[in-house]
Amino acid sequence: MPLRSVRTRIAPSPTGEDIHIGTLQTALINMAVARKNKGKFIIRIEDTDRVRLVEGAEKKYLQTLKSYNITHDEGPDIGGKYGLYRQSERLELYKKHALELIKKRVAYYCFCSMERLVELREKQIKEKMHTRYDKHCLLHVKDVEERINRNESYVIRLNVVPDKKIVFDDLIRGQITIASNEIDDQVLLKSDGFPTYHLAVVVDDHYMEITHIIRGEEWISSTPKHILLYEAFGWDLPLFAHTPLLRNPDKSKLSKRKNPVWASWYIKEGFLPEVMLNFLALLGWSHPEEKEIFPLDEFIDLFKLEEIKPVGPIFDLVKLKWMNQQYIQNKSDEDLKKLIIDFSPDAKNIPDQTLSKLMPLLKSRMETLVDFAKLTGIFFDKFGEQSFNQEEKDIASSLVNDLSKIKDWKNDTIFNIIKASMVLNKLKMPVFYKIFTGETRGLPLPETLEILGQEKSIKRLKEVLGK
Ligand code: GLU
């Protein structure tokens, strides 16, 4: 094969609410392979399944990928040299190729009714046979042209030759062999004129000059069908790599019930896009120096497809949170402030200086950006629990007294007063958190009160007394 410049792609079907977190990982890997080799990364929308099509999905997918800084070089939104990037706009091309296969006798027309196919299937199940099409139309229908002229509905099927071995190299899994006897005579063109995935994906990957097909392992069983098509057209094979399916901590397939699977959920929950990419990079691959935290550029630099392990990596939310916290901790105060303001525009209601002072405190306590609002309620006059018993009110009352006397409002003086009250009343810190914030924990209290100011701290205590 002549040396071609690297072109990779993802080809999502707009049939879901959002980009699946597994697809986000595939996108990351495809983008990394393209960038590493100074190639191109393409997004193609595979919208040929008209029944499962979800209105607005394509737009959402593109938005979500953008929010993770997964950037493409060609796609339905930005175009490119390789024509249209939405399959529904390329129907003529697929039809032409289906007919070419008919001419080559690699494919055939099938007029079977749904009833016959259902009956055949039931019979095969009953007889404990593999369920597959029985080549009835290939073997018995002689008046093909007349039936087409009569406008009879038909599909075009691939004629899979029995007793053949289909062998291909997977960059992650090594050699894979599948017997042609395992493969059904796949429909290539449906009666509505739309291609099936198998025909469209091969035609497009060929014409878009894709060099590496990197996709999830659930597509392995489709690959031999595609190889038969490449062979029938006389086209060079691309390289194949099937990435391992992500798993829940209990090893089951990542599913909505156990882990959120839609990529934008994580952004809404305050995970940083760069953290998610770092986390996904490590699902199946390890850094040569065993590093856990590294930027995207380093991943692109070091990563090799061949190093991905084929066993299902665990998507562990606890680790993701830990990683997010690490990134937050390592941000400069200014950068964290910007991130917070973007995420919770309300933050702007806190005077900028106060907000800046909060950054060092927040860094040590925030796991996600959502925590900002949870930890700073007191600055917005938003409190958690609002009912107080007599003991709590008595403490608040004596704190009003003691805190009012402070001349130099500094955290160590505030701490001494709280500490004295703790000892005197034999109480623990959560009670004091509750009195001031309505929560049982939060940012270091004396420091927070110093930033909040004497007047506001005392005002809060007086409110507690009135409850
Ligand atoms: N349309 C397929 C999907 O929804 C693409 C699979 C492939 O990458 O070949 O994921």
Q: How far is the CA of 197 from the centre of ligand 1 (A)?
A: 8
Mutate to test the pocket of ligand 1, among 8, 30, 33, 46 (most ligand atoms within 8 A of CB): 46
Mutate to test the pocket of ligand 1, among 44, 45, 52, 201 (most ligand atoms within 8 A of CB): 201
pLDDT value, residue 131 = 92
Confidence of residue 370 (pLDDT cuts 50, 70, 90): very high
Instruction: Extract the tokens encoding 107.
Output: 């494919």
Answer whether residue 2 shows pLDDT above 80: no
Mutate to test the pocket of ligand 1, among 7, 8, 13 (most ligand atoms within 8 A of CB): 13
Answer whether residue 266 shows pLDDT above 90: yes
Q: How far is the CA of 139 from the centre of ligand 1 (A)?
A: 32
The C-alpha atoms of residue 137 and residue 142 are separated, in whole angstroms, by 8
* 256 in catalytic set: yes
Answer whether residue 1 shows pLDDT above 70: no
Confidence of residue 207 (pLDDT cuts 50, 70, 90): very high
Answer whether residue 147 shows pLDDT above 90: yes
The C-alpha atoms of residue 341 and residue 348 are separated, in whole angstroms, by 7
Residues with CB under 6 A from ligand 1: 11-13, 46, 197, 201, 215, 219
Sheet (strand 165-170) strand order:
40-43, 7-10, 212-216, 239-243, 165-170, 174-179
Instruction: Let me know if 390 is exposed, middle or buried by CB neighbors in 10 A (0-12, 13-18, 19+).
Output: exposed
pLDDT for 316-355, tens place per residue? 999 999 999 999 999 999 999 999 999 999 999 999 999 9
Q: How far is the CA of 165 from the centre of ligand 1 (A)?
A: 24
Task: Point out the catalytic residue in the list 66, 123, 256, 419.
Answer: 256
Answer whether residue 236 shows pLDDT above 80: yes
The C-alpha atoms of residue 296 and residue 262 are separated, in whole angstroms, by 21
Q: Residue 106's closest CA among 164, 180, 182, 157?
A: 157
pLDDT value, residue 3 = 67
Answer whether residue 445 shows pLDDT above 90: yes
Q: Which atom of ligand 1 lies nearest, measured to the CA of 205? A: 9
Q: How far is the CA of 46 from the centre of ligand 1 (A)?
A: 7
Nearest CA to ligand 1 atom 6: 11
Report the pLDDT averaged over residues 159-168: 96
* H/E run at residue 40: strand 40-43
Report the pLDDT averaged over residues 1-20: 89
Give 258 or 446, the one with higher predicted confidence: 446
Instruction: Let me know if 359 is exposed, middle or buried by CB neighbors in 10 A (0-12, 13-18, 19+).
Output: middle
pLDDT value, residue 253 = 86
Q: Give the position of tokens 């060092």.
A: 360
- For residue 385, the SS3 value is coil
